[in-house]
Amino acid sequence: MVEISPFRAYHYNSDEIDTFVSKPYDVISEEEKAIYKRNPYNITHLELPTNYNDAAQKLKEWINEKKLIPRDKKSIFIYKMNFSLKGEDFERIALLTLLKLSSFEEKKVLPHEMTFSKCMDDRLNLLRATKANFSPVFMIYRGIDSIKEIISEQIKNNPIYQIKDEDGFLHQVWEINDDKLIQEIIKKFNGVESVIIADGHHRYKTALKYHKKEGKNPYIMAYLVDVDDPGLIILPTHRLIKDSNAITNKVIKEKLSDLFEIKEIIDEDLLFQELERNKDNTSFGFASKKGKLLLLTMKKDINPVEKISTKQSDAWKKLDVTILNEIIIKKKLGIYKNLEFSKNPKKSIKLVKSGIMDAAFILNSTKITEVEEITKMGELMPHKSTYFYPKPLSGILIWIHNN
């Protein structure tokens, strides 16, 4: 049973909210951070402070100055994003609520990736100082068709505000403050077995640690998206290899031809088309400094489960990213370090052809059904196997604890 709750949100008291919000803290470059912080009231001053106590003080000042104002009552919010990707337009709709914290052992909230203590320490220090959530944890759920009907009816009304971000994406927020309707939504989520963390593992584990250690605040602000929402998009993370001049087209053909059909491709656009066409097979693009691009497609009589000796499930072993990591990169090529990652396939190939990197593997996206299957078996996805895109903005709504 998943427990959600309405909350009294704070938001910016301005018609220019787009200048105050930001991308999530963990995807902001140093250059972007400097640009955001030119505005003295941008959310990055709270989310990425130079000093945690300064962030807490700024939060109090902004409330006193009425730069941040509260809604009249506890509510549930609808957050709709309109965005484009590869020339195609998408819409994604989420609910913004509080989610009751529960340990991963309870299996109400399921993680899909590992966390790192250094990142958690930073978020814990910020949470202790500010006692606030400036951005929601991105969660996905399945199985409430009637929620779609409620949302469809609510967004016929005018949003409480809307924002266009620097990418031209439209963000709109509606408020549900009718007590009867709120209780209906809460009851529907009570029937959901579990939610999966799409993005925000460090913040979720930080909130758990804060609650367990200090006995405070058993909730976290959550961005809840239906798993069947057509705007729920996962981008792949491509692998770049450096300091390894030996990884050439000739080597790839010699070492991988027993497992893969290998086809030369004349240009990157054609490679991307071939990868898309083969997205239901195990296929990778490959780029080296010299020679044509290659398309690698696993032969139909090859069972990757038999080639991987780790203790994980068969489903985990069949993931494209597992096959790349465990069979190609480690077992066949003997590479265990000097890997870098990129979200941009064209940039990845350009880095190789310009000589900055030695080779690149281009992947298809992980499927959301694969994430569900792995997490519900209690396993974690391989490192850098998902990138949910785009992410909700920081500062679009703020939850201050005990308010």
Alpha-carbon dihedral 262, 266, 272, 276, rounded to 10 degrees = -50
pLDDT value at position 327? 96
The one-letter amino acid code at 400 reads I
Is the per-residue pLDDT at 403 higher than 80?
Answer: no
The predicted structure's pLDDT at residue 216: 75
pLDDT band at 217 (very low <50, low <70, confident <90, very high): confident
As separate numbers, helices (DSSP H) first and strands (DSSP E) second, the chain gives 13, 21
pTM: 0.94
| Residue 377 belongs to some domain of the structure | no
The residue assigned the tokens 């003080």 is 57
Band of pLDDT at residue 64, cut at 50, 70 and 90: very high
Q: What pLDDT sits at residue 61?
A: 98
- The confidence score (pLDDT) of residue 123 equals 94
pLDDT average, residue stretch 240-259: 92
What are residue 295's DSSP bridge partners?
A: 263, 285
User: Computed over its alpha carbons, how large is the radius of gyration of the chain?
Assistant: 23
**Tally of structural domains, the chain:** 2
- Tell me: do 185 and 325 sit in the same domain: no
The SS3 of residue 33 is helix
Same domain, residue pair 183 and 253: no
The pair of structure tokens assigned to 356 is 């900055």
DSSP per position, 153-205: HHTTSPPSEEEE-TT--EEEEEEE--HHHHHHHHHHHHT---EEEEE-HHHHH
The CA distance from 229 to 305, in Å, is 31
Query: By residue range, what is the domain housing residue 45?
Result: 4-233+389-400
* N- to C-terminal Cα separation, the chain: 25
Give me the mean pLDDT over the 246-265 stretch.
Answer: 95
Query: How would residue 113 be classed by pLDDT, with cut points 50, 70 and 90?
Result: very high
Are 287 and 218 in the same domain?
Answer: no
Provide the β-strand partners of residue 233: 389
- pLDDT at position 99 is 98
The answer to whether the CB of 94 falls within 8 A of the CB of 392 is yes
207: helix, coil or strand? helix
> Is 189:103 a contact under the CB 8 Å cutoff?
no
In a domain, 370, yes or no: no
How do residues 119-173 score in pLDDT, each as one tens digit?
Answer: 889 999 999 999 999 999 999 999 788 898 999 999 999 999 999 999 999 999 9
Question: Above 80 in pLDDT, residue 9?
Answer: yes
Give the pLDDT confidence score for residue 122 in this predicted structure: 92
Same domain membership, residue 359 and residue 241: yes
* Angle (CA) 348 349 352, round 5°: 95
Distance CA 54, CA 37 (A): 14
> Residue 75 domain-assigned?
yes
**224 and 161 in a common domain:** yes
CATH number at residue 248: 3.30.1760
Q: 209 pLDDT exceeds 90?
A: yes
**Predicted local distance difference test score (pLDDT) of residue 213:** 83
Is the domain of 207 the same as that of 259?
Answer: no
Q: Are residues 269 and 311 in the same domain?
A: yes
pLDDT exceeds cutoff 90 at 16 = no
Residue 162 lies in a domain: yes
Residues 266-311 have pLDDT tens digits of: 999 999 999 999 999 999 999 999 889 999 999 999 999 999 999 9
Give the pLDDT score at 47.
96
Whole-number pLDDT of residue 94: 98
170 and 242 in a single domain? The answer is no
Q: What are phi and psi of 9, to 5 degrees?
A: -85, 150
pLDDT band at residue 243 using 50, 70 and 90 as cut-offs? confident
Are both 211 and 330 inside the same structural domain? no
Confidence of residue 244 (pLDDT cuts 50, 70, 90): confident
- Tell me: do 204 and 296 sit in the same domain: no
